[in-house]
Amino acid sequence: MYIEIFFIIITVVWIIFGTSFLKWHPFLVLFIGSLLLGVALNIKLADILSEIFLGFTSTTKNIGLLIFFGTLIGASLEKSGATTAIAIGILKRFSKLPLTYLISLIGFIVSIPVFCDAAFVILSALNKKLSELSKSSKTTLTVALSTGLFAPHVLVPPTPGPLAAAATLGLKNIFMLFICGGVLALILILVGAFYSQNFIKRSNVLSKENLKKLISQSDSEGFLSFKLASSPIWVPILFMSLRPLINSNFSFITTPIFALFMGVIISFYISIKKTKFKSLFTLSLKQAIPIIAITGMGGALGKIIQNINIISWFEEINPNSSLGIIIPFLISATLKTAQGSSTIAIITTASIILPMLTVFGLDNEIGKVGAILAIGVGSMTVSHANDSYFWIVSQMGGLDVKTAYKTHTFATLIQGLTGVIFLLITFNLLKLF
């Protein structure tokens, strides 16, 4: 038992060292880690390579199209100007809220299809404009935006992290993950907004005059309507939510792949005047292929880990133990803090905890969703100097490194801890019923 734990720890240390210090591609680091772990477990080389291949192909088969469709939708919204149109639409509808909550809400909606780093770059100009018009602290609004974008990025499909974890853990009900992840992400973006508003500097409400200036500017620049701009987000949600109402012969239209495909069709329609299909397709491939490859290699690592009888480690543990939430959180938080990438933290943690699901009573759909969300909030804890998102937030938001640590990094710590506490309370309450 102890020697196997040591081998897993060494593998995790190698992943941190290879990605953070050697700066090697995560795909190569995970491949070498899988090989080394297999050798340490005395598996024959031919069997190691066979299991790596099987783990890789089974994972990519389950998740590849979903990730690709998600990146296509995100790239389309980014290039078509729909991201800004969504932001303006939210400002119109919720203009009476303090700007911190408005900005966080914008981040929440936009980050579901668009990568949080790209979304921050796109929205940083609007953020600065709102700061000037309302005479609100730029630091406050920057942190509200960064935390608003971060939570959905690690918790809500179709972003790659949650989808990769779902594929690794064998979750079939992606819609349940979307709803539960969305609720938790909404809570956490409100936590980020509350922190920004009350512990950095209070923001103001945008005046009607300044709101009119923004709206007239958006109208003159020919932005899409909010309904059309946001349709690649809400149409797939609508399709997936129809499952209880649809005849089994047509249930395919409620599957995540079909739902996201419809989102792709709509996103192509709204972006066709702004960008060429070929460039959009190429951009999406460039974004999706590395993520799919890393996800697949995470599945390969998980296949090697399955050779360890992890269940025997926890024979005396009660299946209702809260460790089922805490352990994924701690592993993911350790990986995130050590090597910087939330996606790598999610993929690696999912591979490690897969054999533990039965032990902790998480081998059903609800349990798997809880495990994925625990991994997700762990991967938020914390964003600092080894995280590319930290530098995008600090540079594009105009924060010096010291201020970014005191505000953005601390806010992600609060979000992560709040998230795991919320999950612990929720799961303990569910046990009463």
Over residues 306-324, the mean pLDDT reads: 69
State the pLDDT at residue 30: 92
pLDDT > 90 fraction of the chain, expressed in percent and rounded: 48
Q: How many domains does the chain have?
A: 1
Neighbours of 247 (CB within 10 A): 6
Selection from 419, 416, 418 nearest residue 382 by Cα:
416
Phi, psi of 222 (to 5 degrees): 70, 40
Enclosing domain of residue 96: 2-430
Over residues 257-279, the mean pLDDT reads: 89
Contacts of 222 (CB under 8 A, 6+ apart): none
Average pLDDT, the chain: 88
State the pLDDT at residue 404: 93
CB 412 within 8 A of CB 382: yes
Over residues 296-324, the mean pLDDT reads: 76
